[in-house]
Structure 1
């Protein structure tokens, strides 16, 4: 397991170095190849853990004295989320091979070595973060993802994209101060960086560590007031938006919060209260902000902020001892990654074929481009939690756990009602845009749509299937 984990972690970095010196024509092939190898590595880790009896395992790789510096943790959470982020990295790599070409009607451009190298580094960093057994390891890969996001958001080298990249880097780096604080405090109190050491802390020290982790999580996962970088980050190429801002980077925050919860018992309830209140406020704010959006990517950015609030809501409920809420949060991370990636990549396909992603200019997708019409429909239904799509099987246990806890904590009821109302309202809003864009006679832009490359079509088909089936995988894995 140790050797396979190291290979899974290091292969994307090795691939990035190879791409940096390879001819440009080989970059996309090398990126997809090393992303595939990393995906196979993560799948082999998951299979090895499952075949060995599903025993949670921690392997310490580096220590200094009694202090654990870095190691791997293999359990149902790290392997499920680790596989999702690496597999989606592979899909985005394949999609990029078709998207970043001169045939793209909105951004005619051949992908450079820089793009594919940073994408691989990001995949490797996400593998390292999900498997890390120490706060110091999480901090290292947290910062690597920040640097990669700066490079990929500003990829087109336009003034607006460069400003957006710098904004994302600064805000998420400010948020990382919380993780620095949590890491230093844990070491000062326990003499180690191991996540498992959080359980040794007293209540006051746990509050400090969790407060630092939560602040870092708010920044990375775009929660108010540290959310402002995410809408502007839509200046990135759409495959980057799909990976960083739906599947991986924005999931870093909720993941490190989930791992801290999993590592300890008796979490101070004030952490859960603050998490629930902030998640509810951010959820309503995000919904109100995506109502006036006409640019499909900006609408999806604010929708992502809202969906991340649901995950924070579930994990905050878990601090009160609800196993169902915790598993709902983990399943939400997994399921949302596929559904929102599908939505972003549908937006990218519209940009590629129609030359625009402005919703008022898009109509009649089903007649001209049925795959995109189906993808739009499936993604909208999955995101808003309509059965039998994967979002329903994340939202239902979240509300079930919340209403169960409200019998003991009556103050939860207003928050749950607000969250439930937003869920219904978001379905109505996406249904409105579905009616405006998918059925009917094609608009001028849609009628002139160019065919999509086979790589883009294949990825969309896989994500449509996963938006229907991923909840089954999550439920079987987490049981």
Structure 2
């Protein structure tokens, strides 16, 4: 199993090197092949892990002076998350093959090698971070993903996109100092960088380490006060926005904090209060900010900030003893990856075919393109948390676990009521845009839309299916 986990890291990395050395015409196929091979490895790993009783396994790769520097491990959470981030990376590679061409009405383009090279390297870095068992390993892959995001956000090389890329790199790098602090404190206390050592720290040291990791997590997941980079990052090609800013990069913060809590053997309540309070403040801020947005991608960016806040809310609630809230946060990470990727790729398909992603200009999508109309509705309902779509089940688990522990902690009850009100408001706002965009007579931009390439259609259909099925997969897997 460890060999398959390592293969999912190395194959995209090798693919990135080959793409950089290959002719431009071969870059698209190489990117898709290596992403597909990595996905196949993880599906086999998931099967073997499941039939083997889901017994965790670890393997030390680099040791120095008796100190483990880099190690990899598989467990229930890492396998589930890895399948999502690498599998969606494969879908994005397929979608990008159709999106990046001269027929794109918003951004006519030819496929450049660096796009698929950095995308492939990013997939490998995400797999490496998910399977890392040391803070140093997380930090290394954390920084690699930051460099890849910088290159991909600035892909179009316009002044605004280059500025946005630099902004994302600088802000997330500043936040990553939290991981440096965590690694330093852990080594001084335990003489190891292994995440498993968090549980053996003193109460004070454990609080410092967990809060430091939480700061790094806020930066990567665009939470207050590090949120400002994400809306500007929408200057990236839409498949990049879908992968980095819906399925993978922004999930890094949630994941590293979740792993720290899993290793903590009980986190101090102070950590839980800081996490839940900041999550609630951020989700309210995100909701307020996406109300005036007319650019579909910026709307989805602020929506992503709020959905990430729900994940942090679930993790914070788990500190007070709710395993259901923790499982709900992990399931929401998994479910949201598919639903929000679908929504971003719908935005990409609309801009590809109509030349705009401004919502007021898009009406009657269903009559012109039934697939895009259906995908828009499914994505909106899944994000809003409407059954039977995936967002409902994971958010329900977060709220159910939260209300259970809130009976002993009145402040948590207040935070949960605020979050519940935001959820209702979010549903109403997305329903408004569904009613405006999907039914009716096509607007001028929609009426003149060009056909959606087959590769993009295949990915959209796959994600529509996953917007229903992923919640059941997560529930069965997490038990």
TM-score range relative to shorter protein: over 0.9
Greater shift in the superposed pair: 378-387 or 4-13:
4-13
Tell me the distance in 2 between the aligned counterparts of 1:2 and 1:380.
Answer: 37
> Which residue of structure 1 lines up, in the alignment, with residue 87 of structure 2?
87
> Which residue of structure 1 lines up, in the alignment, with residue 362 of structure 2?
362
Number of aligned pairs?
Answer: 479
Confirm or deny: 8 A CA contact 2:2 2:73 kept in the other structure. Answer: no
Tell me the distance in 1 between the aligned counterparts of 2:390 and 2:426.
Answer: 16
2:139 is equivalent to residue 129 of structure 1: no
> Which residue of structure 2 lines up, in the alignment, with residue 115 of structure 1?
115
How far does residue 6 in structure 1 lie from its aligned partner after superposition?
Answer: 2.0
> Which residue of structure 1 lines up, in the alignment, with residue 248 of structure 2?
248
> Which residue of structure 2 lines up, in the alignment, with residue 342 of structure 1?
342
> Which residue of structure 1 lines up, in the alignment, with residue 180 of structure 2?
180
Structure 2 gaps of 5+ residues are none
Confirm or deny: 8 A CA contact 1:66 1:191 kept in the other structure. Answer: no
Tell me the distance in 2 between the aligned counterparts of 1:434 and 1:5.
Answer: 40
Confirm or deny: 8 A CA contact 2:406 2:413 kept in the other structure. Answer: yes
Confirm or deny: 8 A CA contact 1:152 1:240 kept in the other structure. Answer: yes
Structure 1 gaps of 5+ residues are none
Confirm or deny: 8 A CA contact 2:321 2:405 kept in the other structure. Answer: no
> Which residue of structure 1 lines up, in the alignment, with residue 448 of structure 2?
448
For 1:289, what is the secondary structure of its paired residue? helix
How far does residue 2 in structure 1 lie from its aligned partner after superposition?
Answer: 2.8
Greater shift in the superposed pair: 47-56 or 254-263:
47-56
Tell me the distance in 1 between the aligned counterparts of 2:404 and 2:326.
Answer: 14
> Which residue of structure 2 lines up, in the alignment, with residue 420 of structure 1?
420
> Which residue of structure 2 lines up, in the alignment, with residue 50 of structure 1?
50
For 1:223, what is the secondary structure of its paired residue? coil
> Which residue of structure 1 lines up, in the alignment, with residue 459 of structure 2?
459
Taking only aligned residues, the RMSD between alpha carbons, in angstroms, comes to: 0.7
Greater shift in the superposed pair: 46-55 or 131-140:
46-55
Tell me the distance in 1 between the aligned counterparts of 2:412 and 2:315.
Answer: 14
> Which residue of structure 1 lines up, in the alignment, with residue 432 of structure 2?
432
Tell me the distance in 1 between the aligned counterparts of 2:302 and 2:227.
Answer: 9
For 2:176, what is the secondary structure of its paired residue? helix
> Which residue of structure 1 lines up, in the alignment, with residue 204 of structure 2?
204
TM-score of the aligned structures, taking structure 1 as reference length: 0.99
How far does residue 467 in structure 1 lie from its aligned partner after superposition?
Answer: 0.3
Tell me the distance in 1 between the aligned counterparts of 2:366 and 2:44.
Answer: 39
> Which residue of structure 2 lines up, in the alignment, with residue 351 of structure 1?
351
How far does residue 266 in structure 1 lie from its aligned partner after superposition?
Answer: 2.2
2:247 is equivalent to residue 217 of structure 1: no
Confirm or deny: 8 A CA contact 2:2 2:57 kept in the other structure. Answer: no
2:473 is equivalent to residue 476 of structure 1: no
Confirm or deny: 8 A CA contact 1:284 1:422 kept in the other structure. Answer: yes
Tell me the distance in 2 between the aligned counterparts of 1:452 and 1:24.
Answer: 24
Confirm or deny: 8 A CA contact 2:70 2:132 kept in the other structure. Answer: yes
TM-score of the aligned structures, taking structure 2 as reference length: 0.99
Deviations along 1:156-191, one digit per CA (max 9) or x if unpaired, are 000000000000000000000001110111111111
Deviations along 1:264-310, one digit per CA (max 9) or x if unpaired, are 22211000001111000000000000000000000000000000000
Deviations along 1:39-64, one digit per CA (max 9) or x if unpaired, are 01111222221122211112212212
How far does residue 3 in structure 1 lie from its aligned partner after superposition?
Answer: 2.4
**Deviating 4+ runs (over 3 angstroms):** none
For 1:411, what is the secondary structure of its paired residue? helix
> Which residue of structure 1 lines up, in the alignment, with residue 279 of structure 2?
279
Tell me the distance in 1 between the aligned counterparts of 2:383 and 2:290.
Answer: 14
2:359 is equivalent to residue 388 of structure 1: no
How far does residue 317 in structure 1 lie from its aligned partner after superposition?
Answer: 0.4
